[in-house]
Amino acid sequence: MVLPYVVATVLGVLLAANSFLAWNAAASVNYPAWVPTVAGLMFAGPILLLAPILAFGTWTRTRSAFRINVIPVLVWFALLCACIALAVAYLLTIGNASSYEGTFNTVTQSYEPLFNLFTFLQVSALLAVFETGALLLVPAKFLYWPAIQTVSAGVQGQDAIGQIIRTSQETGHRQNE
């Protein structure tokens, strides 16, 4: 039950490490050397912060016996797979110079940036917010955690059938006296 969040945490660590390796990867479009690294860390940071917290929250809910409602878990799992796929795509492209290049300018004989610098940083920040909010936090809070229902070892509440039987036995004993 905790394994998907462990995978997300490992992916966040790999993304952070690869962000440092992506230093100056966008030099072909004249971005400053720090841009790919900062964008990758903006993307990896919330994952590294949130995934262990969600793993701990899931672990605390599954320490004792529990039942699972399948439909919400399947929806949650699909969203988590989308989160992981987005992080893998970012991981694989952050260090690739061609992922920053737009059209080739024949006048300057160089590639134009796919986005201007400010837009690129904004898109990275929005992706980080979308991934951690819409694909990690909200599904865990409203789909996954409510679908995990603890099962108690004892009987909770009143046992209506037992109460009827006890009442009938008591009235039966009174009639026999």
> pTM of the full predicted structure?
0.74
Residues 6+ apart with CB under 8 A from 98: none
Confidence of residue 39 (pLDDT cuts 50, 70, 90): very high
Joined together, the tokens standing for residue 45 give 């940071």
With beta carbons less than 8 A apart as the criterion, state whether 159 and 70 touch: no
With beta carbons less than 8 A apart as the criterion, state whether 28 and 97 touch: yes
- Helix runs in 3-159, H state only: 3-21, 35-61, 70-93, 117-130, 138-139, 145-147
What is the percent of the chain where pLDDT is above 70?
94
With beta carbons less than 8 A apart as the criterion, state whether 110 and 28 touch: yes
Residues 6+ apart with CB under 8 A from 59: 1, 2
**Average per-residue pLDDT for the chain:** 86
Q: CA end-to-end span of the chain, whole Å? A: 58
- Phi/psi at 149 (5° precision): -115, 120
Residue 175 has pLDDT above 80, yes or no: no
Residue 37 has pLDDT above 90, yes or no: yes
Nearest of 11, 21, 160 to residue 82 by alpha carbon: 11
